[in-house]
Structure 1
Amino acid sequence: MLHAIVPLIPEFSRRFPLIQLELNTDEVVIDLLEQQTDIAIRIGELRDSTLHARSLGNSKLRLVASPAYLAECGEPESVADLVANHRLLGFCNLEQHNIWPIWRSEGELLHIKPTISASSGETLRQLAVNGMGIVRISDFLSREDVASGRLVPVLESQTHEMRHPIHAVYYRNSTLSARISCFLDYLAEQFASNTLL
């Protein structure tokens, strides 16, 4: 989410100069109370029902690889070819992101076994750009690389579009502090009016 969040921070700081921000850029799910964190951005289905959530939108996911990888290994012609003959890049800490919606048969999902795993989408993007394999990542991470030709979509006809919901999650006692409310409103405004996703 760094690609989407970090560019929003300067304007927020100009609007609200007295609000101090501390960004934790780990891509692991944390306990907000234990880590003394006000807000976390979560991609995917929410599991913790004790949290309040504000929807920010949906993240489109796509399969991409670098032209160098495709020149070396060839473009996968089918799902069977993808699984049998290609290096797949996946998450080591978010197993649900290693389930790819690919048409193997009606309604079947592909549980991949990554050749290389990483804990962040940004790391996986860089691995793909550097020719290490095929990855399924959010459009906001791959958009610039696809536009510039550093990454190329693959198997588009055999994947159905999948989107993961994006939420800002927080604990709410009886009242929401003004600074948290300001940041939540700002995020919702920016995600709604911007081409972040």
Structure 2
Amino acid sequence: MKSTIEELQAFTAIVDSGSIVMAADRLGQTASGISRALQRLESKLNVTLLERTTRKIKLTQEGQLFLAKTRRILNDLAEAEDSLQKADEDISGLIRVDSATPFVLHVIVPLMHEFMQKYPNIEIELNNHDQVIDLLEHQTDVAIRFGELNDSTLHAKLLCRSRLYIAASPAYLAEKGHPVHPEELLQHDLIGFSQVLHLNTWPVNVNNKPFTARPKIKASNGETVRQLALDGNGITCLSRFLVQDDLQAGRLTALFEDQIELHYQKIHAVYYLQEHLPKRVRLFIEFLAEKLKPYL
């Protein structure tokens, strides 16, 4: 008896998610149903594909060989299904997107209306994590990552480069004074980050060294830092996509523009390494890249 597509999907879902329970959630099935599908598959093949313990699931040598071929089959099937769509507008399905809260609010959300009008049959789920997540564990199709990338299991597409600004509100500057030289930062109230500490290194030199802020107020995400700055709590350093509207409207004032060492933060769309990227995900990434092209 031949293996079924459902059994192959169950097998790869278990591998990708790391457990039968998570695979069931990912496929919208019961854990017992996924477990039975795996048992049927192993029985048909007369091999053990996964070694199951109370703590983890591990591929056997046979499972590793079979997984590569299984992925190719499922990828080819997905590609064939995509090719039968009459137009991009017909593409359907759910895209789970993850990014830091500020990027979701200031970049993705303003683009959603246009994207949904262009692709009305696609569903979007936006999730916010201010720390790097495991895409498989969180069942994420595409994530937005900032800075240099280290994970070799992911594909990445550069979306844009966003420069850093040192800024404060006019109210704060009126109360505490307008610093002219970066050394004066040592006498000012600073706002920074509590978790991603490298974000507290600002693109100016103090005493001939890159300045690392010692924030009086810290926050875990850039949107909170922005709001603190807008409310006059101190000077901060944030990416252009966060503050460009505030700078243009005069809600924030850029500092040290004649002394700053221009630093551009790379922003990538990343997705799990696979031979065939679902067309709906590719369309979303291409849409973001096109809209952010002016910032490259």
TM-score normalised per structure 2: 0.62
Q: 1:184: which partner in 2?
A: 285
Asked if 1:95 corresponds to 2:197, the answer is yes
Q: 2:158: which partner in 1?
A: 55
Which amino acid in 2 is paired with 1:19? I
Q: 2:243: which partner in 1?
A: 142
Q: 1:158: which partner in 2?
A: 259
Structure 1 or 2, whichever has the larger Rg, is 2
SS of residue in 2 equivalent to 1:40: strand
State the alpha-carbon separation in 1 of the partners of residues 256 and 271 from structure 2.
37
State the alpha-carbon separation in 2 of the partners of residues 113 and 30 from structure 1.
27
Alignment of 1:11-160 (within 5 A): 11-83=114-186, 85-104=187-206, 108-160=209-261
Q: Is there any run of 5+ residues in structure 2 with no aligned partner, and where?
A: 1-102
Task: Report how many aligned residue pairs link the two structures.
Answer: 193
Q: Percent identity?
A: 47
State the alpha-carbon separation in 2 of the partners of residues 77 and 185 from structure 1.
42
State the alpha-carbon separation in 1 of the partners of residues 283 and 249 from structure 2.
35
Measured after TM superposition, the shift of residue 160 of structure 1 is 1.1
SS of residue in 2 equivalent to 1:80: helix
State the alpha-carbon separation in 1 of the partners of residues 160 and 281 from structure 2.
19
State the alpha-carbon separation in 1 of the partners of residues 254 and 291 from structure 2.
27
Q: 1:171: which partner in 2?
A: 272
State the alpha-carbon separation in 2 of the partners of residues 33 and 160 from structure 1.
38
Greater mean alpha carbon deviation, residues 162-171 or residues 38-47: 38-47
Measured after TM superposition, the shift of residue 175 of structure 1 is 1.2
Which amino acid in 1 is paired with 2:235? I
State the alpha-carbon separation in 1 of the partners of residues 180 and 195 from structure 2.
29
Measured after TM superposition, the shift of residue 26 of structure 1 is 2.7
CA RMSD of aligned residues (A): 1.6
TM-score normalised per structure 1: 0.91
State the alpha-carbon separation in 2 of the partners of residues 67 and 144 from structure 1.
15
Give a deviation string over 1:102-155, Cα, whole Å, max 9, x none.
12355x311222111112211111110100111111112111211221110112
State the alpha-carbon separation in 2 of the partners of residues 48 and 90 from structure 1.
26
State the alpha-carbon separation in 2 of the partners of residues 95 and 46 from structure 1.
17
Greater fraction of residues in helix? 2
Considering Cα pairs closer than 8 Å and 6+ residues apart, tell me whether 1 or 2 has the greater RCO: 1
Which amino acid in 1 is paired with 2:251? R
Measured after TM superposition, the shift of residue 157 of structure 1 is 2.4
8 Å contact 1:56–1:188 — kept in the other structure?
Answer: yes
8 Å contact 2:162–2:239 — kept in the other structure?
Answer: yes
Which amino acid in 2 is paired with 1:172? L
SS of residue in 1 equivalent to 2:267: strand
8 Å contact 2:160–2:268 — kept in the other structure?
Answer: yes
Which amino acid in 2 is paired with 1:62? Y
Measured after TM superposition, the shift of residue 187 of structure 1 is 1.0
